[in-house]
Amino acid sequence: MESLKGRDLLSLADLSADEIQELLHLAAQLKAGEVNLRCNKVLGLLFYKASTRTRVSFSVAMYQLGGQVIDLNPNVTQVSRGEPLADTARVLDRYLDILAVRTFKQEDLETFAKYAQIPIINALSDRGHPCQVMADLLTIQECFGSLAGVTLAYVGDGNNMANSLLLGCAMVGMNVRIATPLEYQPDADIVEQAQAIAGERTEVMITDDPKAAVKGAQVLYTDVWASMGQEESANARIPIFQPYQVNEQLLSGADSKAIVLHCLPAHREEEITDAVMEGPRSRVWDQAENRMHAQKALLVSLLGAD
């Protein structure tokens, strides 16, 4: 995709609806082995937060494309000693071809994008997780054949996943319903942005009623109740979020062919029961695998193929 070459991906809002569809098509082709693209470049991973799927999927994707990966652990680089992000960005720009950053503040990603000319990828921030949603959309498309008109219900914390699902679903013509406790809703500006994108053609619902959100939905999605950096409040959140647990009773209100997704890691018997996680409706492991395929398509598109 020449239209993406050299660009940053800090949010799904950085893409058009057509570009998302093209990325998903390329990801499906790469997964099926229908195309064999090479990208002999160097990817840097600068992760301030713990990671399993994002770190490994990006690494394997880049290796399979013929490129190399440098893991830039912040604890052993000068950023841990207070080097300004702008300085780090300008130096890494001279060494790398592309950089994926996993951090807390969205503003840090914007600083990297401002001071580095290479593409910067949001590998997760407190505001969004666009790479995860690309894998989610690929998984849903595999299950239902298309995305338009499919209804996704997300129940739990109105976190970065809720924010990105709002944008991603609205952009591809999916109905999206977010059910959270009133004090834990997603960012208001992102809700407004998703509503503007959806217009009259698709539904964007924000509610505190998980049963209303799930009713008739084809996709039931959840995430942990306390994200990284919120561990101190985890125990206090459990009674607040208990009505939002994805269990067999809640799933029974969804469409009879509904699938269940979770971006992982999961706290089993908290936000999702073991029975649902391991049940016939779960597509969690396909979803996790698709991180690699979706990110491979993104890397090729941002860097260009050899």
> Where in 32-172 does DSSP place strands (E)?
42-47, 68-71, 98-102, 120-124, 151-155
Phi first, then psi: what are they for 226, rounded to 5°? -135, 110
| Residue among 102, 177, 281, 293 flagged as catalytic | 102
129 flagged as catalytic? yes
Nearest Cα to Cα of residue 295 among 6, 14, 4, 24: 24
Give Rg (Cα) of the chain.
19
Name the strands in the sheet holding 42-47, side by side, starting at the edge strand that comes first in the sequence. Answer: 68-71, 42-47, 98-102, 120-124
102 is catalytic: yes
Residue 133 in contact with residue 11, Cβ under 8 Å?
Answer: no
- Name the active-site residue from 97, 126, 157, 223: 223
| Catalytic member of 39, 131, 169, 263 | 263
Structure token pair of residue 229: 């950096």
- According to DSSP, the β-strands at 259-262 and 219-222 are parallel
Neighbours of 16 (CB within 10 A): 12
261 sits in which H/E element: strand 259-262
How far apart (Å, rounded) are the C-alpha atoms in residues 245 and 157?
A: 11
Rounded distance, CA 190 to CA 139, Å? 23
Cα separation, 81 vs 84, whole angstroms: 9
Supply the DSSP symbol for 268: B
Q: How far apart are CA 44 and CA 68, in angstroms?
A: 9
Q: Choosing from 53, 127, 129, 177, which is the catalytic residue?
A: 129
Q: Clarify whether 263 is annotated catalytic.
A: yes
The active-site residue, picked from 53, 127, 132, 169, is: 132
DSSP state of 199: T
> How crowded is the C-beta side of 66, counted as CA atoms within 13 Å?
10
Catalytic residues: 102, 129, 132, 223, 263, 291
